[in-house]
Amino acid sequence: MPPDRTAFGDFLRSRRDRLTPAQAGMAPFPGPRRVPGLRKEELAVLAGLSPDHYSRLEQGRQATVTDSVVDALARALRLDDVEHAHLRDLAAPTSRRRRGGGAEAPQQPDPGLLRLMTALDHVPVLLLGRRAQVLARNALLPAVLGRPLEPGSSFARYLFLDPSARERIVNWAHFAAAAVGALRFEAGRRPDDRRLAALVAELRAADPDVARWWDDHGVRDHTSVAKRIAHPTAGPLAFGIEAVSTPHDPEQRLVVYTVEPDSPTAHVLPLLAGWGVEAVALTPGAGN
**11-44 pLDDT per residue, tens:** 999 999 999 999 999 998 988 888 789 999 999 9
At 4 the pLDDT is 63
Confidence of residue 98 (pLDDT cuts 50, 70, 90): low
Confidence of residue 250 (pLDDT cuts 50, 70, 90): confident
d(CA 269, CA 204): 35
**Superfamily per CATH, domain 3-98:** lambda repressor-like DNA-binding domains (1.10.260.40)
Return the percentage of the chain with pLDDT > 70, whole number. Answer: 89
Domains 3-98 and 111-282 equal at CATH topology level:
no
Where are the domains positioned within the chain? 3-98, 111-282
Return the percentage of the chain with pLDDT > 90, whole number. Answer: 74
At 275 the pLDDT is 66
85-101: b (≥16 Cβ within 10 Å) or e: bbbbbbbbeeeebbebe
Q: Whole-model pTM?
A: 0.84
Stretch 43-61: mean pLDDT: 94
At 204 the pLDDT is 97
Look at 230 and 221; give whichever has higher pLDDT. 230
User: How is the beta sheet containing 225-231 ordered, strand by strand?
Assistant: 134-137, 125-128, 249-258, 235-246, 225-231
Do residues 39 and 55 lie in contact, with contact meaning Cβ atoms separated by under 8 Å? no
Which residues are 256's β-sheet partners?
A: 125, 242
Write the class of the CATH domain 111-282.
alpha beta
- Phi/psi region, residue 157 (left: phi>0; alpha: psi -120 to 50; beta: rest), is alpha
